[in-house]
Amino acid sequence: MRMLPCQPYDTNSTAEIRVFEKFSQAPCLDPESVCFHSLNLPHHIKQRFGEADFVLLSAHGLFVFEVKGGSVSRDMEGLWHFTDKKGKDHVKRRSPFEQAQEALHSIKNDLKKQFGQDLIDRMCIGYGVIFPDCNLEVDTLEWDKTTLLNAKNFDFFDAWLNAFVHYWKSKDMRKTAAMLCDQDIDQIKTYLRPAFETLPALCAQLDTIHDRICKLTKDQFCLLDVAQANKKIVCAGGAGTGKTFMAAELCRRFAQSCKNVLFVCKSLWLERYLHARLRQQNVTISTIDQLELKAKQSCIQYFDVLIVDEGQDLFNFKDLAKIESFLKGGFINGRWAVFHDTNHQSGVFGCYEKAALDYLLSMNPVCIPLKKNCRNTTPILKKIQSLTQYDTGTDGTGFGPDVVIHRCDTRPEILLAKELNRLVTMEGVPLGDITILSPFSFKDSCAARLNRSSRSKIQVLDENLIQNFYSNSKISYARIQDFKGLENRCIILIDLDHHYQDKKQLPLLYVGMSRATASLSLILSDRDHE
């Protein structure tokens, strides 16, 4: 759902931030629906100045929500007690339901003065209360249970919201079938929060999104205890579900217990990137092609533990046999963990044989599914799923800028230059936070046709430069195939034509789009690459 503003206002209420994310991830009630956060009410009916935590405007009507975090209770005298995260008790006579109702009628009165009684007569209104952190179990005539969302049902936010809207529409039979038109919604939206409101620049959003990604990645680590306690593991998940983070952490844990660990992947770029960041004693990181050399350098013939990342690139009997020859006890009796993408990305990298995966599964490993996407913002996640139909996990990391898609029939480098200018000059994004991805080498891409000034700001990555990728002060460029397993905050995907959904380009689109953690731009050509 569209949020205004697109990021929550600075607030000490973590409850409001959680509710903001729920609204932002909720399906739109209709194409024009919009949700306002922290709407100021200068003409409050009871106070000199008031505020509505959330206001939902859609074709179905206008609805106000009051959010209370922490512990909530009501004593025998009717006083409400709100205990914050620091344990401080706040006492109020007005209930959250009264606060929401007063905010609703304050907005209604203002709209009546501005647009007249006719609009009010056609508009369904309602109010609700959300307690994300506690459960208020009270049997009372003072409010209907449908208007209250407790912590125990917070994960079922979408279903509750639909039931909530239906409840208020059914309260007034005259308005049950009434719907606001697009013009009604537009004029109310403009009046409640005018168009001149400034939105936060993308550069200001990047660190916030990065903090949420780190938190979500830590959430995945609870599954590592399961992986560490079992001898054979197959961990499956789509792009962005935290496979590489978990593989690296599992590697570190085994190494700290004095076991010799072999970490294998297909991509030389990923191997170099991990080698620069996973500097751990007892760990040998190698591509499949370097195994003999790396084992010889380590003076180890058989390793105690095997960890495979991007396993879908190695699911063929030739590669599995090679890997198994370095594992103490082999796949049958050895300790191993394989992390792989459920979408396989066939044809992008390596040779995939389903029978090879079936062979590993025949050994009855513990299978750990990764369902929660901890890399991509919700807009990016939804766009990947809508364009590719691939499973990239659920939830995403929350709100973020919309995905930008440009289409052109000639000179895509012009659109690329404009997009770079937007990100760097208008949004203030650091150059190093931007990566341009293409199926082609730089000299064959439209990026090579940028002017000299723009090209001077681009660094073409290779297997050596990737080791210092995150200290890069220039815009980076890479082939999609090489960048698999890696990520950056802002991704610009180029040189894919509008037939991207064919069998050859769809995996490239999937890999390229899923590299973006905060901002994603696509420049699609309406004719084949020349």
**pLDDT of 47 higher than 80:** no
Give me the percent of the chain exceeding a pLDDT of 70: 89
**Which residues lie across from 260 on neighbouring strands?**
none
| Domain annotation covers residue 199 | no
| Domain annotation covers residue 70 | yes
Read out DSSP for 121-186?
A: HH--EEEEEE-SS-------SSS-GGGEE-GGGGGGHHHHHHHHHHHHHHHSGGGSS----HHHHH
**pLDDT of 201 higher than 70:** no
Q: Count the alpha carbons within 13 Å of 509 in the hemisphere toward its beta carbon.
A: 25
The answer to whether 466 and 486 are in contact (CB under 8 A) is: yes
291 and 152 co-located in one domain: no
Per-residue pLDDT, 498: 64
Domain boundary among 165, 192, 219: 192
121 and 151 co-located in one domain: yes
| Domain annotation covers residue 154 | yes
The domain that contains 267 carries what CATH number? 3.40.50.300
**pLDDT of 175 higher than 70:** no
414 and 432 co-located in one domain: yes
- DSSP SS3 for 341: coil
pLDDT tens-place string over residues 337-352: 999 998 855 445 668 8
| Domain annotation covers residue 340 | yes
Confidence of residue 198 (pLDDT cuts 50, 70, 90): very low
Is the sign of the CA dihedral 439, 442, 443, 445 positive or negative? positive
248 and 306 co-located in one domain: yes
Per-residue pLDDT, 112: 93
Confidence of residue 177 (pLDDT cuts 50, 70, 90): low
| Domain annotation covers residue 200 | no
Number of domains in the chain: 3
103 and 164 co-located in one domain: yes
Please give the sequence-ordered ranges of beta strands (E in DSSP) within 176-257, or none if there are none. 232-237
Per-residue pLDDT, 501: 57
| Domain annotation covers residue 41 | yes
Confidence of residue 225 (pLDDT cuts 50, 70, 90): confident
Domain boundary among 171, 192, 213: 192
23 and 167 co-located in one domain: yes
**pLDDT of 10 higher than 80:** no
| Domain annotation covers residue 386 | yes
- Overall pTM > 0.75: no
Per-residue pLDDT, 460: 97
Domain boundary among 369, 390, 416: 369
243 and 365 co-located in one domain: yes
AA identity, residue 307: I
pLDDT tens-place string over residues 451-490: 999 999 999 999 999 988 878 899 999 999 999 889 999 9
| Domain annotation covers residue 60 | yes
Give which of 168, 167, 197, 171 is closest to 36, Cα–Cα: 197
Per-residue pLDDT, 440: 94
Q: What is the mean pLDDT of residues 14-27?
A: 88
Q: Provide the residue range defining the domain that includes 41.
A: 2-192
pLDDT tens-place string over residues 77-132: 778 888 876 777 788 888 899 999 999 999 999 999 999 998 888 899 999 999 99
179 and 74 co-located in one domain: yes
356 and 397 co-located in one domain: no
pLDDT tens-place string over residues 269-292: 999 989 888 878 899 999 999 999
72 and 89 co-located in one domain: yes
352 and 457 co-located in one domain: no
33 and 105 co-located in one domain: yes
